[in-house]
Amino acid sequence: QVRLVESGGGLVQAGGSLRLSCTASITSRIIGTIDAMGWYRQAPGKQRELVATISIGGITNHADSVKGRFTISRDNAKNTVYLEMNSLKPEDTARYYCNADGVKYTNGFDLRTSTSGFWGQGTQVTVSS
């Protein structure tokens, strides 16, 4: 089972910044590579929405609502994805979830790829006016 652990959330005033981190690991196995990692967010009463994604090669996509303010990046050697959030607005308030897709891992013999994506438990970001 792949485990994703997010950190970096908190309470910040409008205009402030936060940096989220998410590290992937797998029980009794070693992760080789992760094809894509991303950040999603969900506010109360709202659907979960895409914030940003990044491929293993560093190709990024950011939602229009965060372009120019948020930047996604990753460290493949650490199986970690980051989200640098600047100029935060109250509308950014949500629980932010890390996602990993195409996780390749070794079972001691062959390199295998997960057939489904994985989610972290999320980290809360609250932006005050």
Handedness of CA 48, 116, 66, 72 (dihedral sign): positive
pLDDT value for 28: 85
Identify the pLDDT of residue 114.
Answer: 87
Which letter, b or e, does each residue of 40-63 get, where b requires 16 or more Cβ atoms within 10 Å of its Cβ? Answer: bbeeeeeeeeebbbbbeeeeeebe
List the pLDDT tens digit at each of the 129 positions of the chain.
899 999 999 999 999 999 999 999 998 888 999 999 999 999 999 999 999 999 999 999 999 999 999 999 999 999 999 999 999 999 999 999 999 999 999 988 888 998 889 999 999 999 999
Residues in the chain: 129
pLDDT recorded at residue 108 = 81
